[in-house]
Amino acid sequence: MSHTRRSGLMLYAIGDIHGELEKLDELLERIPLEPGDKLIFLGDYIDRGPDSSGVIERLIGLRERHECVFLLGNHESMFLDFLGWTDDAYFGGDAFLMNGGDRTLAGYGYFDREDTDRESFRLPKSHEDFLLSLRLSHVEGDYLFVHAGISQSQLRTGDLAYALRKSRPEDLLWNRTSGDLPHDLGVTMVYGHTPNEDFGVRWNTPFSIGVDTGAVYGGPLTAIRLPDEKVFQSLAA
């Protein structure tokens, strides 16, 4: 499978951040961005880590200075469902708190209010707009970017557009198997969601590359540059 980019510009795919603002800042310092390069964030910006609201604020500011693509992760899906937004891609809100959502809500002052009714709670408008703008997938050149994967039943269709149409939001946000399998979709799938036990990149080239290296569990936050597949990381721990 041949990988080329027009004009020599680079894509940087960044794995699950999970509220690790210091690691995000450190990683961004290490990425040698040039004009025209693009940052592609693979979702799961929030939950479990110490500063989810700070991560969202940083990403909002980042897109004002650089070309960025932001994907929806399963944690943002749960959060939006918890907050009462309705969309086929928003579900699992009942499990939000038990998946680290309590730390996200605490960062927004949710538990400090006199009125504890969920319906009365509102995020800052810029954060709400950001979360509602997140997309399920992005295709660019020879790469498919998703949070988790695609439907395992679509891996051998030979038609990427058809495979994406037939993949449910559950597949794109929660799948933990398709990244380890071969496929004939004509692209390399770049995804997050499933970290290796050793916090390393999950290499299954030319079929897929997994970029969640467990930042919130003590691993580094990782970016992979494409097409040369050079890895950039924050410090671990």
pLDDT tens digits for 180-193?
999 999 999 999 99
d(CA 191, CA 173): 10
Under a CB-based contact definition with an 8 Å cutoff, are residues 169 and 194 in contact?
no
Under a CB-based contact definition with an 8 Å cutoff, are residues 148 and 12 in contact?
no
Average pLDDT over residues 45-52: 96
Q: Provide the H-helix boundaries in the chain.
A: 21-30, 52-62, 74-82, 101-107, 125-132, 160-166, 169-174
Predicted pLDDT of residue 116: 66
pTM of the predicted structure, to 2 decimals: 0.93
Tally of residues, the chain: 237
Predicted pLDDT of residue 5: 45
Quick: pLDDT tens for 117-140.
Answer: 777 788 999 999 999 999 999 999
Which one-letter amino acid corresponds to residue 53?
S
Average pLDDT over residues 91-95: 93
- Give just the sign of the alpha carbon dihedral 37, 43, 47, 52: positive
Under a CB-based contact definition with an 8 Å cutoff, are residues 76 and 85 in contact?
no
Written as six digits, the tokens of 112 are 């400090």
* Domains present along the chain, CATH in parentheses: 7-233 (3.60.21.10)
